[in-house]
Amino acid sequence: MILATCQNIGKDYEVLGLVQGGTVQSVNALKDIGAGLKNLVGGELKKYTEMQETARKIANERMIAEAQALGADAIICVRYGSSSITQQASEVMAYGTAVKFK
C-alpha cells in the first residue's frame, strides 16, 4: 500500500473515499510513576514515546486494512492526530483518502 501525505502521486486515480484508523493507548501505573519522577529532572519520557509509536503503528495498520477492504492501491493526503483521553491515555488517529489507480 502506497501512503502519501500529498495529493499528486504521479498517477491517475479514482477516489474511493475516506479511510481511518485509531486506537487509545496507555502505560501501566508503574511506568506512569516513573515518568512522573522523570518530569522532576527533565528529559525524554521514553515509555510515553514508545506508547505513541505503538499507537501510531496500530492506527496506521487499521487505516490500511480499511483501504484494502475497499480495493485501494494507495492512500493519499494521509494525516495523523492525537489527543489526550485521560492523564494516562492517549488517542491516535490516522486518516486519508483511499484511491484506486486507473
Tell me the whole-structure pTM to 2 decimals: 0.83
C-alpha to C-alpha distances, 62 to 19, 55, 56, 59, 75, nearest whole angstrom: 9, 11, 10, 5, 12
**Mean of the pLDDT values across residues 3-22?**
97
Structural domains of the chain in order of their starting residue, each with its CATH number: 2-101 (3.30.110.70)
Band (87; pLDDT cuts 50, 70, 90)? confident
Handedness of CA 75, 78, 83, 88 (dihedral sign): positive
The C-alpha cell that represents 51 in the structure block: 506508547
Q: pLDDT tens digits for 32-80?
A: 555 555 555 667 778 888 888 999 999 999 999 999 999 999 999 999 9
Q: Which one has a higher pLDDT value, 87 or 92?
A: 92
Amino acid at 14: E
Please count the residues of the chain.
102
